[in-house]
Chains A and B, each alone.
Chain A
């Protein structure tokens, strides 16, 4: 096995995630795509950790941190989506233009 096969796979998953984030209108689906991107990052972290044979196992430890933070992010993200849905009866991101000038 070589490192790059994992890295390229991760890059592919990450790009698919980007596509999802950019193209999906439903906020829940956008969050799903973000999960894909985070998974790709985790693959990278673990692969690098393995490659470097780090005594601190930091690659895996950070993958664990990412998983934890991702769980928190999903919880908050879904709560926000639900809140928005309740206020606007829609969970479509393209109808949310509060950032507009």
Chain B
């Protein structure tokens, strides 16, 4: 498929914009010299993924993403950053390793491998239009996937207790 054919679809223009924003934000997350900025850039990347979910007709996942991630997880991160007094000023020496090139090489290698595999596997396979299926998710979650659902709730409970126990100051 030619790029011109692809871009002719208006939705793909939207996709491209979101994708560029996400990649930019993601790069900022891993390179930013300010930890607070990095966390805020993560919000942008996650918001982008929520937008992609909407495009894919997964509006329930999208809103969960916004609520759980952007609402809760990022706030948690900000707390973590403050408690551990991570350097918020520009100080690349303390934030990054010296060995950036090997890491970049590994990352690019992984990307090349994954992109090659998916391109070989799916080529130009078209994606059906998304249909909102929040109701189906509810049905399936409490029917077919009820045991995993309960297990996950236990995982969360365990994490909750574990988090409290770990982070609590010793009584003495």
Q: Touch between A and B in complex, CB under 8 Å?
A: yes
Q: 0/1 per residue, B115-134, Cβ < 8 Å to A?
A: 10011001111111010010
Per the bound structure, the CA–CA distance linking A48 and B163 in Å amounts to 33
* Residue numbers in B under 8 Å from A68 (CB-CB): 68, 152, 155-156
Q: 0/1 per residue, A15-48, Cβ < 8 Å to B?
A: 1111110111111110111011001001100110
User: How many residues from A make CB contacts under 8 Å with B?
Assistant: 71
Task: Please name the residue on chain B nearest to A74 by beta carbon.
Answer: B73
Residue from B102, B104, B119, B122 having most chain A Cβ neighbours under 10 A: B122
How many A-B residue pairs have C-beta atoms within 8 angstroms? Tell me: 260
What is the interface of chain A mostly: helix, strand, loop, or mixed?
A: helix
* Residue numbers in B under 8 Å from A64 (CB-CB): 60-61, 64, 137, 141
Question: Smallest CB–CB gap between A79 and chain B, Å?
Answer: 4
Docked-complex contact B166 and A24, CB < 8 angstroms? no
Docked-complex contact A79 and B166, CB < 8 angstroms? yes
Task: Please name the residue on chain B nearest to A42 by beta carbon.
Answer: B49
* Residue numbers in B under 8 Å from A57 (CB-CB): 133, 136-137, 140
Task: Please name the residue on chain A nearest to B94 by beta carbon.
Answer: A25
Task: Please name the residue on chain A nearest to B110 by beta carbon.
Answer: A15
Question: Smallest CB–CB gap between A44 and chain B, Å?
Answer: 9
A-B pairs, 8 with minimum CB distance: A20-B30, A72-B159, A22-B103, A15-B111, A19-B107, A11-B114, A79-B166, A7-B118
Query: 13 extra interchain contacts, Cβ-Cβ under 8 A, other than A28-B77, A28-B80, A43-B49?
Result: A12-B111, A16-B30, A18-B107, A20-B30, A26-B94, A35-B46, A35-B69, A46-B52, A51-B125, A78-B79, A81-B80, A82-B84, A85-B85
